[in-house]
Amino acid sequence: MTCALTGWLARQLARALLLVAVLTVAGTPARAEAPGAVTTDFPPLTPPSLSHWSQIGLALLPGSGFRVIIPYGENIYCGKPGKRVCTGRVPFFLDVQPSFGMGPHWDVLVDLRIGLEADFARTHQFAFAPGFRYWVDPESRLKVFATLQLAYDSTEQHNRSLTGYDLAFRNSNGLMFEVMRDLGLYAQFGDTIGFVRWLRFEVDLGAGVQARFP
């Protein structure tokens, strides 16, 4: 009888353990994976390029400077009566500059110089200077540049002994701060050597703004 009782207790214990196991599994919430779940891990955003490559630009730069004029002949008025060499301030001007980024380091540009102040001949300067600009570090927010240009000056001098135009070599060196990809503020120092009408040395200083697109 003792063996029968022991067998019965073993069977009851096994049933109880099976019931506990079933209840435990049934009470555990299932974790269902939603098909096609969207991940929230995004790749890091790439900052926009600050290079001017393939951008069209338009800049405005007012300025002034200092010049020396040495006529090739005698008795040619160059701003001061009776002087063989004339020195003085460059009349206040505005440079309008369209440009295009032909590569990461290079722009092609044209400076249109418009005299805002009358010169000694009582005329206002008009000159244009096509050329190229080189950017030392095109991706930097604060970048250095240099230009090489050939200027054509058609300012009237009202003097038959002088040619109606002047040619000059021009270089400008400056610093631009990129406010954003499409807008920059800059300052530059320029020098010009004219050689057809008379020998002319000019240095000028200005600060301006450039807008670009796209």
Ranges of the chain whose pLDDT falls below 50: 30, 32-33
Residue 3 lies in a domain: no
pTM of the predicted model as reported, rounded to 2 decimal places: 0.78
pLDDT score of 18: 59
Q: Is residue 13 situated within a structural domain?
A: no
Tally of structural domains, the chain: 1
- φ, ψ for residue 91, nearest 5 deg: -55, 150
pLDDT at 129: 98
Q: Is 82 left (phi over 0), alpha (psi -120 to 50) or beta?
A: left
pLDDT at residue 24, rounded to an integer: 58
The enclosing domain of 177 has a CATH number of: 2.40.160.20
Predicted confidence (pLDDT) per residue in 100-131, tens digit: 999 999 999 999 999 999 999 999 999 999 99
Q: What is the pLDDT of residue 36?
A: 58
Residue percentage of the chain with pLDDT more than 70: 81
Name the residue range of residue 86's domain.
Answer: 56-213
pLDDT at 90: 98
pLDDT at 6: 56
In-domain check, residue 1: no
